[in-house]
Amino acid sequence: MRSALARVLPYVVVGALAAWLFHEATQIDFHRRAGTLGPDVWPKLILGAMLAVCVYEVARLAVSPRYRGGAAGVLQEMVEQGEAAHGELAEPPAPRSPLLLLGGIGLTVLYVWALQHLGFVLATAPYLVAFIALGGYRRWAVNVAVSAAGTLAMMFFFMKVVYISLPLGREPFAQVMIGLMQAMGIR
């Protein structure tokens, strides 16, 4: 009984906090403009999703108390089943590398600096290419395509859907962002 309560309690606490914050988000006072989302939409959407997950997990744990729970439990069970079926792991895990960690930190620091000078697109696409390559992926055409598509998708989502302005960069680099914004219909 005590272990079941220990598994459910975090979801109850987080769910209660999400419900309270959702209520607070309904109290946000702002001037509504037709055809635009208000500043209350995204907090309420995220808090509603968090509350739904908490209610689902509490119900799932109540129905199946012996289940380990959570994504970690599912993944752990899959690994254990695979090991049982095949004996050992097919491939040993890659060794950890402090140099890769420092490289990732260095790339991220450089990205933050470049973001203000080059703008979002011209800083993010090369950052993604370099970060993916640092991780060991060597199919360059795929790397560049995914980085470019991901950068444009993030730009569209942040600027057109969520209404977050992204750094344009300094001239002449700002013209690239402005041109892409016009091509995507972002004002």
Tokens, residue 176: 């690239």
pLDDT at 73: 57
The Cα 133–Cα 107 span in angstroms is 11
105-132 pLDDT tens trace: 999 999 999 999 999 999 999 999 999 9
> b vs e for 167-183, b when ≥16 Cβ sit within 10 Å of the residue's Cβ?
bbbeeebeebbeebbee
The Cα 24–Cα 96 span in angstroms is 44
| pLDDT band for position 175 (cuts 50, 70, 90) | very high
pLDDT at 187: 78
pLDDT at 109: 95
Query: Quick one: residue 29, left, alpha or beta (phi over 0 = left, psi -120 to 50 = alpha)?
Result: beta
Range from 22-26, 50-54, 101-105, 142-146 carrying the lowest mean pLDDT? 22-26
Q: Among candidates 160, 133, 158, which has minimal Cα distance to 147?
A: 133
Question: What phi and psi values does residue 47 have, to the nearest 5 degrees?
Answer: -70, -35
First to last CA, the chain: 57
The Cα 146–Cα 124 span in angstroms is 12
pLDDT at 92 > cutoff 70: no
pTM: 0.57
Q: Among candidates 127, 139, 160, 153, which has minimal Cα distance to 37?
A: 160
| pLDDT band for position 8 (cuts 50, 70, 90) | confident
The answer to whether the beta carbons of residues 168 and 178 sit under 8 Å apart is yes
